[in-house]
Chain A
């Protein structure tokens, strides 16, 4: 796909990639921004922290009764039960830390809750299947990327570990900064696992503007039929068309009035008042008809300057 929708801004454009699926279909994909990934990991750890806190409180609540039993002079068995709870806790913390990420990213959404909230997911970089091995590899590496730098950062300033501590901190900071040194925002774990994190948009199919009555017949308010000629429509290109589309789909009344005025001035009409939406919808429909007609002959007009 050589053409990309001009709707995207410059920063977005940089993150766009085309992934070729095994059967040769080109799927457009956007690499997740570093900000949304940081947000996702913070959310994930908040979820883990509060989840474990909840379970811990539940255990204390359950074991609290046991402690009372011990006070009441119960036998050794109760002590065994308290010990068992501790073991469950240690194993649970280990399981939760690794299990949460593994199970969630292996699921059909390929994302933890934090990633779902920020609208991103894990994918295989080569366009193939996302395998369990890849998920395991990328999550095992997280330890040296995230926890080691934090540990060293806390130790290094105290001078306890000496120069080695400072060197260690610098070394592990490299891992933490790794995503900022490659264009796909991969962290070390992604490199090892052959994965990357991409945006996973869930977009609803928007209704058509061109089939609205305003765009086809005449204005629903005044009954005026807006017809534009070659000279008026020839001014604008695709970029302006899609800006107009955005305004028509979700713009405020003020925006519509402003755009109406701008277009009227540009094409040399006297801007009226009260029937802006009908005017713009008719203009949109006719401009699109013209540009799409040209497109079929291989002539594309990127914006008003071209």
Chain B
């Protein structure tokens, strides 16, 4: 037995190794032992960050984090080329990945994000999809007209279009008094709270669906818009037949200006995704889809908020406020508020917003 290889190793060790690392025979092990302290320190910081408490981390550690992260990353590249210790390599890979997630993790908390969303982010996202909003608006108007024309031509269409839950007394052939009754307010609040909550859950579901269906190049989103608006057109025809157009518009406008606006935005958001996937331009399809998706997600978060407002309006003011003028006033004010918020409110973009 001879040991030429080993003697060469030992020879080098005598020159270079610091005292506490003397025990290691291999150069790659000495490399590891020299840096182990930094690695475990990084791991310790990461463990505390992942637990979600930044308070438990000292300023020194926080400042050291980026440096330690880069040290670990360079250790990994060196170890890949010099070490065959699979366990150390696996550890380093996992460590660098974990550190990377923390260094490049979400910088803002949920509260901070909400603030930037409400003060600028939301309205900017809405303005960015203006073209899709225009298209969706045109589609909605078309849907209403189609609904009107269909029912005007053949009354059977009314029963096909309008879901039975709405068609209690509001059917073709109903008297003016019956229709007026349906539009009148109620005196008591009992049950309205529950009503508004279930309305919200239902409407938000429809809006989210309109958005999610945008994935199929936006066509199902548009179909959903047409269908919903055709119902509206059919009901408008019914009330117009008894000269109640203004009353109906007032009754609808209380919550409708908010709700229809929200549905418009949801459809536009879905269309935005579909359009950028169908026509990605010079970008790869996946990049185009994810850019559009993130922008639309902002709009959609706002849509859910608008749905909450709409449900509250639908349950309380619409049922309690009886006057046509009062109703129009509420609806008109809200519409102008939304328009002002989306298109006139343009705060300066802050540096840290992504």
Is B159 an interface residue, CB under 8 A from the partner? no
Q: Mark B19-42, 1 if CB is under 8 A from A, else 0.
A: 000011111110011001001100
The answer to the question of A169 belonging to the interface, with a C-beta cut-off of 8 Å to chain B, is: no
Kindly state the separation between the CA atoms of A49 and B23 in the bound complex, as whole angstroms. Answer: 55
Docked-complex contact B83 and A292, CB < 8 angstroms: yes
CB neighbours (8 Å) of B286 from chain A are 125, 191, 194
The answer, yes or no, to whether B342 is at the interface (CB within 8 Å) is: no
A191 to B106, CA, bound (A): 19
Bound-complex Cα distance A229 to B17 (A): 25
The reply to whether B297 and A134 contact each other, CB–CB distance below 8 Å, is yes
Which of B36, B77, B200 lies in contact with A1, CB distance below 8 A?
B77
For A190, give the chain B residue with the smallest CB separation. B290
A266 contacts the other chain (Cβ, under 8 Å)? no
Judged by a CB distance under 8 angstroms, whether B15 is at the interface is no
A192–B272 Cα gap in the complex (Å)?
11
A108 and B88: CB pair below 8 A?
Answer: no
Contact indicator B194/A86 (Cβ below 8 Å): yes
**Chain B interface, number of residues (Cβ within 8 angstroms):** 89
Q: Please tell me if the beta carbons of A134 and B290 are within 8 angstroms of each other in the complex.
A: yes
CA distance A296 to B25 in the complex (A): 16
Alpha-carbon distance between A241 and B204 when the two chains are bound, in angstroms: 59
Find B273's partner among A25, A192, A208 (CB 8 Å cutoff): A192
Do the beta carbons of B194 and A87 come within 8 Å of each other?
Answer: yes
Mask of A229-249 contacts with B, CB within 8 angstroms, 1/0: 110010000100110011001
**Whole-angstrom distance between the Cβ of B76 and the nearest chain A Cβ:** 8
The 0/1 profile, CB within 8 Å of A marked 1, for residues 42-53 of chain B is 010000011110
A132-B212 contact, Cβ under 8 Å, with A140-B297, A295-B84 = no
- Looking at A197-205, A255-263, A272-280, the stretch in contact with chain B turns out to be A197-205
Who on chain A is nearest to B291 by CB? Answer: A194
**Is the beta-carbon distance between B193 and A83 smaller than 8 angstroms?**
yes
Query: Which B residues are in CB contact (< 8 Å) with A221?
Result: none
Give the number of A-B contacts (CB < 8 Å).
233
- The answer to whether B106 and A286 touch across the interface, beta carbons within 8 angstroms, is no
B1 touches A227 (CB 8 A): yes
Chain B interface, DSSP helix/strand/loop, else mixed = helix
| Complex Cα–Cα for A3 and B273 (A) | 38
Asked if B300 is at the interface (CB within 8 A of a chain A CB), the reply is: yes
- Confirm or deny: A27 has a beta carbon within 8 angstroms of a beta carbon on chain B: yes
Q: Which of B80, B91, B104 contacts A3 (CB 8 A)?
A: B80
Residues of chain B lying within 8 A (CB to CB) of residue A43: none
A28 to B77, CA, bound (A): 11
Cβ contacts A125-166/B at 8 Å (1 or 0 each): 111111111101100110110000000000000000000000
Known contacts A295-B81, A295-B84, A143 near B201 by CB under 8 Å: no
| A110 contacts chain B at the CB level, 8 A cutoff | yes
- Asked whether A33 is an interface residue with its Cβ less than 8 Å from the other chain, the reply is no
Contact A28 B97, beta carbon cutoff 8 Å: yes
- Nearest Cβ distance between residue B263 and chain A, in whole angstroms? 15
Known: A94-B204, A128-B104, A203-B91. A194 touches B212 (CB 8 A): no
Within 8 A of B (CB), among A75-103: 76, 79-80, 83-84, 86-87, 90-91, 93-94, 103
Q: Is the CB of A132 within 8 A of B106?
A: yes
- A184-234 contacts to B (CB < 8 Å): 188, 191-195, 200-206, 208, 210-211, 215-216, 227-230, 233
Give the nearest-CB partner of A194 in chain B: B290
Residue of B nearest to A237 (CB): B84
Q: How far is the CB of B310 from chain A (nearest CB, A)?
A: 15
A37 interface hit (Cβ, 8 Å): no
B104, A21: Cβ atoms closer than 8 Å: yes
Q: Is B82 an interface residue (CB 8 A)?
A: yes
| CB of B110 closer than 8 Å to a CB of A | yes
- A292 lies within 8 A of B194 (CB): no
| Docked CA distance A84–B204 (Å) | 20
A–B pairs, 28, beta carbons within 8 Å: A79-B190, A83-B190, A86-B197, A87-B194, A90-B197, A90-B201, A106-B113, A110-B105, A129-B107, A136-B301, A141-B212, A191-B293, A192-B292, A194-B287, A194-B290, A194-B291, A200-B101, A205-B87, A210-B26, A215-B25, A229-B2, A238-B84, A245-B86, A288-B26, A288-B84, A289-B9, A289-B26, A295-B81
The residues of B with any CB-CB pair to A shorter than 8 Å are: 1-6, 8-9, 23-29, 32-33, 36, 39-40, 43, 49-52, 70, 73, 77, 80-91, 93-98, 100-102, 104-108, 110, 113, 117, 190-191, 193-194, 196-198, 200-201, 204, 208-209, 211-213, 215, 273, 286-287, 289-298, 300-301, 354
Closest 3 CB pairs of A and B: A194-B290, A192-B293, A137-B297
